[in-house]
Structure formats: structure tokens, C-alpha cells
């Protein structure tokens, strides 16, 4: 997939989520207010907070698509990881607000009996948000986009939130008023968990954490299968937004000409690009095979 095509695809997914979320937010706030359900109204406030998350993601995708420049020689992909951290902070804040409101309602015993519209709003949200999650997650995993994956998880969080909301508002609808705020409080803990997962994934990438061992093993096998490569001496990888940057040290015949070793390295790089469309760059260092050499590093 071409670079622009990757970003345009991500843009389309984000835009769909943005407008669907706007409609759901309006519906839940109105249904929660007029339907007298704290849980549904809290759900609507959570959707309002999602606007901040989605907007930051849209901005990050625009920043991240900019090519490398003298000040950012590795590109601007980290903007997506930063956006994912911001999304996680929004998720945490939303969960905390919902939990505090639920505790106050239980302590003060200010229960209300929800109307049927509140129940129907929760049902609609579950179906729509689960669809949005699968729709966004499929593309996010395909593009290896941390920002898009974070937004997809945020949609799943909404679906989970609405399940608890549905249980609570249904119980309150049938006369057990305490179930509505209890459902809102339980929802907050689901939100905290999803926020934690989103944050840890983004921080891992910002700290140049290694990609999966399966990917590293696969690239190693591909490289060692090229004629002229005796052994992969070392391989490292790190993520920059939707792309991976791979560092390779290849052992080759010490009597090989510079041109020959360069051609082999180019072949390795081309094969990696062809097999892995989410690899943005491959740095290759050549070592003499079966000869003692010192790897200079300060990290």
C-alpha cells in the first residue's frame, strides 16, 4: 500500500468514527437527560470526551504523514503515539468523572426511575459502537497504526460501557433505582482498564520498545535467505507511528568487494520492503564473517 493511500485510509476511518460518535453523543445526552438516567447521561458525557480524543488523532495523522526533514530525519510518525497517550488520558479522566458522580448518587440516594428511551439508547449504542470497533480495529491492525488502534479501543470501551449502562438502566427501569448509579460506577473500572492498555502500548513505542519476536524472527530468516548473507549478526526494530524502522547487522565474506556487499544489502532491504509494507526504513551495517570485530555502542 502506498504511503498516501495508507494515511487516506486512516483518515476515512477516523472521519466515520467522528460523525457517528457525534450522533451517538447527542442521542445519549438527550436520552439520559429526558429519560432520567444518570448512567446513560454519563455515557453521553463520555462520548463528548471522545471528541477530544478523535480530534487529537486526526491532527496526529496529519502531522505524522509529513515526510522526514532535516530536523526530523526519522519522520513524524511519533505524533501518532503521542496522540494515543492523549487518548488514554481522556479515557482515564472520563472514567474518574463517571465514578465520582456514581458514588455521590449512591451516598445521597438521589435515584431516578429511567424512561424507556434511556434503555433503547443504551441498546443502540452497544450495537453501533461494537461495529465501529471492529471496523476501525481491522484497518488499524492492517496499517499498524497506533493512533487508529487507540481510537478503535476507545470504541470498544464505549460498547462495554453501554453494556453495563444497559444492565443498570434496565434494573432501574423496573424499580431497582440503585442499579443505575452502580452500573455507571462499574463502567468506570472498565474504562480505567482500557485506558491503561492504550497508554502502555503508546509508551512502549515512544520508548522505542521492540516489535514482536515473531516479526524479528521472520525478518531474520528472510535476510539470511539472501545469497551472500552468511548470518544476521544483530537485528533491532522500533516503531514510528504506522511504520517500523529496522536496524540490521549482516555478516558477509570479508573478501567481498564493497560494491558486491552493497548490492546484497540493497537486495535484503528491497525484500523486506516488499514483504512488510509497514516497514519505513532499514538500516544495514556489514560485518566481516568469521572475523573478530568490536561492536561500538554506548546504550
Closest by Cα among 276, 244, 282, 242 to 64: 242
What domains can you pick out in the chain, each with its CATH number? Answer: 3-206 (1.20.1510.10), 213-288 (3.30.70.1350)
> Does the pLDDT at position 107 exceed 70?
yes
Please check whether residue 53 is in contact with residue 90, taking contact to mean a CB–CB distance below 8 angstroms. yes
Q: How confident is the model at residue 6 (pLDDT cuts 50, 70, 90)?
A: low
- Chain segment 137-169, per-residue pLDDT in tens: 888 777 777 667 777 887 887 788 788 788 888
Residue-level pLDDT at 269: 96
pLDDT tens figures, 166-201: 888 888 888 888 888 887 788 788 778 878 888 888
CA–CA distance, 210 with 72 (Å, rounded to integer): 21
What mean pLDDT do residues 223-251 have? 91
User: Quick check: helix, strand or coil at residue 68?
Assistant: coil
Amino acid at each position: 500500500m502506498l504511503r498516501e493511500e495508507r494515511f487516506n485510509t486512516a483518515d476515512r476511518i477516523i472521519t466515520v468514527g467522528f460523525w457517528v460518535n457525534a450522533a451517538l453523543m447527542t442521542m445519549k445526552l438527550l436520552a439520559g437527560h429526558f429519560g432520567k438516567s444518570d448512567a446513560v447521561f454519563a455515557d453521553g458525557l463520555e462520548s463528548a470526551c471522545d471528541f477530544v480524543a478523535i480530534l487529537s488523532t486526526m491532527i496526529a495523522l496529519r502531522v505524522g504523514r509529513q515526510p522526514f526533514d532535516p530536523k526530523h530525519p526519522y519522520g513524524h510518525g511519533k505524533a501518532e503515539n503521542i496522540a494515543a497517550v492523549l487518548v488514554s488520558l481522556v479515557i482515564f479522566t472520563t472514567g474518574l468523572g463517571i465514578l465520582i458522580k456514581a458514588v455521590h448518587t449512591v451516598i445521597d440516594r438521589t435515584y431516578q426511575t429511567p424512561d424507556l428511551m434511556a434503555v433503547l439508547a443504551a441498546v443502540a449504542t452497544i450495537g453501533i459502537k461494537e461495529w465501529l470497533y471492529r471496523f476501525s480495529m481491522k484497518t488499524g491492525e492492517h496499517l499498524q497504526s497506533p493512533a487508529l488502534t487507540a481510537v478503535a479501543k476507545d470504541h470498544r470501551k464505549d460498547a462495554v460501557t453501554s453494556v453495563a449502562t444497559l444492565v443498570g438502566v434496565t434494573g432501574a427501569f423496573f424499580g431497582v433505582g440503585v442499579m443505575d448509579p452502580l452500573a455507571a460506577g462499574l463502567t468506570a473500572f472498565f474504562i480505567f482498564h482500557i485506558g491503561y492498555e492504550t497508554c502502555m502500548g503508546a509508551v512502549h513505542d515512544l520508548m522505542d520498545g521492540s516489535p514482536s519476536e515473531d516479526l524479528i524472527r521472520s525478518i531474520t530468516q528472510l535476510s539470511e535467505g539472501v545469497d551472500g548473507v552468511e548470518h544476521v549478526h544483530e537485528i533491532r526494530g522500533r516503531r514510528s507511528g504506522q511504520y517500523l524502522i529496522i536496524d540490521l547487522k549482516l555478516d558477509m565474506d570479508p573478501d567481498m568487494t564493497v560494491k558486491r556487499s552493497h548490492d546484497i544489502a540493497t537486495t535484503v532491504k528491497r525484500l523486506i520492503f516488499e514483504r512488510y509494507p509497514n516497514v519505513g526504513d532499514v538500516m544495514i551495517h556489514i560485518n566481516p564473517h568469521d572475523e573478530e570485530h568490536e561492536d561500538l555502542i554506548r546504550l
